[in-house]
Structure 1
Amino acid sequence: MILDDDPDGDWTAPGVFRCAPGVHRIPLPLPNDGLRAVNVYAVEDGDGITLVDSGWALSEARDLLETALKTLGAGFGDVRRFLVTHSHRDHYTQAVVLRHEFGMRVALGRGERSGLDIILSDRADGSANQRRLARAGAHELLSRLGAGPPPVDPTHWAPPDEWIDDGDEIVVGVGERLRRLRAVATPGHTRGHVVFADEAADLLFSGDHVLPRITPSIALEPDPPANPLADFLTSLELMRSRPDAAMLPAHGPVGMRVHERVDELIAHHGVRLDASLAAVREGRRTASEVAAVLPWTRRGTALVDLDPFNAMLATLETASHLEVLVQRDVLTRSEQDGVDHYSL
């Protein structure tokens, strides 16, 4: 059964949800993940289907995607291609596995190439994040994290068939049902994150760049840039300068407008920048020290009460906020014994 999407419903519930003419949302599960689900969008493409994002290569996700496609009167063989917003495993890996079996094409933003090269060379050992944590002064957290990420499953990773460049126009469908998706580079969450704008239909497939209920992690990837939060804020401003649209996010319900949520995200980071600056004024000098006095999550959880993975995300986000303050000439940074220290 195909249901009309309900912004007030449980967005993680399995099923097929009509969110716009010719566009259906398919939530796929993320076991043992706080996000709970990822939205894959099925877009009518002539007598086939184009999928925006693919889900994580898990048997449960595959079965639910197959069931959803059957509900739409299709199967894996009818999927023409995947348009993937970024190379995180919950968006990319199922596309790689299904392509090997069924031959559909996979397209990914060109900016993801360097990180994907590291994964494919089996060098994705988490060392980039370990170095960032060491520079943040988070040595105790490093010991809690222990060993790096699990080994990469080589069947889940491969280069795409096509690299998407900023501004590329992707034609989906034919005749009266033809739609043109404009790829827009939105670095920040990852180097090569892209969103897909269908201006004629007033839609934006926003991936993890603009999410309705949470703020995305910044530069959690094998090859993070020097100032990922500055990139993210610039990408948010870019979204604000473009035509407004109904937001089709990768995590969370539909129903919000892009500009409304972008304004909230910019305001949120403004508050975090002010709080980080206040912590430095009070005498904290490292990203680890600043993160320790800031509240985290909607519940205002202390850093010490977060699990090691989320404590890592919080510390790295704090370091990114401090770097933006350096870029804005509000703070200065100096290095002492391999740790970055910040001062007015």
Structure 2
Amino acid sequence: MEWTEPGVFEVAPGVHRIPLPLPNDGLRTVNAYAIEDGSGLVLVDSGWALAEAETALESALAALGRDFSDIRRFLVTHVHRDHYTMAISLRRRFGTRVALGLGEQPSLNRVLARSRDERFADLVSWGASELVPKWRAAWSAVRDEELDYEEPDEWLTESDLGLEKRVLHVLPTPGHTRGHVVFVDSESSLLFAGDHVLPHITPSIGFEPVRPELPLGDYLDSLRLVRSYPDLRLLPAHGPVTDSSHARVDELLAHHEERLAASLAAIGAGTSTAHETARRLGWTRRQRRFAELDLFNQVLATGETAAHLDVLVRRGLLTAVDADGVRRYSA
């Protein structure tokens, strides 16, 4: 069975995976995890606040003999809308408590302040000015995303959360976003990984309203941190449950070293900006050309490339000079 099929699936005693649909998204589905907690439930991630996703969640809860009022708490791995906004929607109706990593506060404040200009400035810095008018037009066609957002009830830092029958360790794992967290259930050998460790794809890096200085460096450090824990059953937000967090972390670390080498080679071959370099690299497992990507993925790819080039600068393999708002790299 495909992991995207709707339903409710027990992945460990008292833990159920609930796939929820995404709109017009190559990922297609996001996993929420319902943890039995006494007379109620705790959900890790919530899904996107969409009618079809709410219906799917309601049906899954009914299969467990539950309803929305049984959800006591949402533990959200990061602020992206496919993880956070359903929690806010249901809180407005049922008063459910919502928790989010403290590192997401700057980006959430920016969203609530209705400020989006930094993404345009990033494109200019990456040498992708040609994408700015297309990106601006795409944003203007989208309804205000701020309507889906509010602050959480609780900001999470590294700590132990005691549920009735288990303890979840909150582990900050910045990289995909600066406030991403995972939840480690050591006794049951489970890792609620959000988008930090995904079984089939690599998560985007640093695509957020307040981008940190070195998002890929943060991500690689966070991967090594998770690798320092015992090998755990991987419960990802996108993709099937797998048995080894270590195996996938090792693959992700190797993948990024390969991308760093390819990025360095592109600069050596004559590119100078993140956008020029992204256009020279292959994308996805099929090594698609940059021009074949849609606008959203072209922006992601350019930002990813900038993140890799900045790590190469930090390692002393490249130099970077900012002039006229554009960052240019050289060996």
Task: Map residues 57-96 of structure 1 onto 2, 5 A cutoff.
Answer: 57-96=49-88
What residue is the counterpart of 1:140 in the other structure? 130
Task: Map residues 126-137 of structure 1 onto 2, 5 A cutoff.
Answer: 127-137=117-127
Question: Is 1:334–2:321 an aligned residue pair?
Answer: yes
Post-superposition offset of 1:220: 1.2
What is the letter of the counterpart of residue 233 of structure 1?
L
Q: TM-score, normalised by structure 2?
A: 0.97
The whole-number CA distance in structure 1 between the counterparts of 2:202 and 2:135 is 23
Q: Is the 8 A contact 1:119 1:152 kept in 2?
A: no
**How many positions carry a matched residue from both structures?**
329
Query: Would you identify which runs of 4 or more consecutive aligned residues in structure 1 move more than 4 Å?
Result: none
Post-superposition offset of 1:154: 4.7
What is the letter of the counterpart of residue 136 of structure 1?
W
Q: Is the 8 A contact 1:212 1:256 kept in 2?
A: no
RMSD value, Cα: 1.1
Q: Is the 8 A contact 2:178 2:212 kept in 1?
A: yes
Task: Map residues 191-206 of structure 1 onto 2, 5 A cutoff.
Answer: 191-206=178-193
Post-superposition offset of 1:143: 3.1
Q: Is the 8 A contact 1:217 1:317 kept in 2?
A: yes
Deviations 1:157-185 (A, max 9, x none): 1111111002x111122xxxx10000000
Identity of matched residues, %? 56
What residue is the counterpart of 1:6 in the other structure? none
What residue is the counterpart of 2:306 in the other structure? 319
Post-superposition offset of 1:64: 0.8
Determine which of 248, 261, 275 is the counterpart of 1:261: 248
Contiguous gaps of at least 5 residues in structure 1: 1-8
Q: TM-score, normalised by structure 1?
A: 0.94
What residue is the counterpart of 1:305 in the other structure? 292
What is the letter of the counterpart of residue 51 of structure 1?
L
Contiguous gaps of at least 5 residues in structure 2: none
The whole-number CA distance in structure 1 between the counterparts of 2:86 and 2:322 is 42
The whole-number CA distance in structure 1 between the counterparts of 2:17 and 2:319 is 46
Post-superposition offset of 1:335: 2.1
Task: Map residues 223-262 of structure 1 onto 2, 5 A cutoff.
Answer: 223-262=210-249
Shift in alpha-carbon separation, 1:155–1:322, aligned structure 2, 3 A: closer
